[in-house]
Structure 1
């Protein structure tokens, strides 16, 4: 994927610091793989589905990820990085 977000301590929003390690792993996978369903995230991270669900809940509370209903299966959501938030963090760090 050509428009990957590189997550580093410098480019991640400050809210990432308040998330558990499982949530940081989910963010990293989303940054590298793009939008994924909860079950695909569980597969990619090798975390239990329940842990992924908790991580996504925490990430949504901090507005770090967006979710949309899957077009291929309306019973599932597709999760992706909140690009606006990460773009603001990159801009903030570029100014510093």
Structure 2
């Protein structure tokens, strides 16, 4: 008995096109934002094990290509909440 793995659909493959040429750190941040709805920079650093500086640069690159959206946290206005928009 063998299990078949479904090939990714064209739609799901195209979804990640904006981040394909970005550095691995940006791809990792995007994948974590895909797994979690919304995260802060410190939460992203915690789940990715990247430095906050690297996360900040990754988020900037993702925002440049329109893959991430940020908004101010209602709980703590000093923090930004990041959401994947792909």
Q: Alpha carbon RMSD of aligned pairs, Å?
A: 1.3
Q: CA deviation at 1:11?
A: 4.6
Q: Secondary structure at the match of 1:10?
A: helix
Greater helix content: 1
Q: TM-score, normalised by structure 2?
A: 0.81
Q: Give distance in 1, aligned partners of 2:46 and 2:14.
A: 26
Greater Rg over alpha carbons, structure: 2
- Counterpart of 2:25 (choices 22, 44, 68) is 22
Give 1:43's aligned residue. Answer: 46
Distance 2:15 2:24 in 1: 14
Cα deviations by residue, 1:8-51 (Å, 9 ceiling, x for unpaired): x7153321112110000001101111100000000010001100
Q: What is the DSSP-based 3-state SS (H/G/I as helix, E as strand, rest coil) of the residue aligned with 2:71?
A: strand
5+ unaligned residues in a row in structure 2: which ranges?
Answer: 1-11
Matching residue of 2:60: 57
Aligned residues: 75
Measured in 1, the distance between the counterparts of 2:61 and 2:24 equals 11
- So what's the TM-score if we normalise by structure 1? 0.73
Provide runs of 4+ in structure 1 moved above 2 Å: none
Q: What is the distance in 1 between the residues matched to 2:23 and 2:82?
A: 18
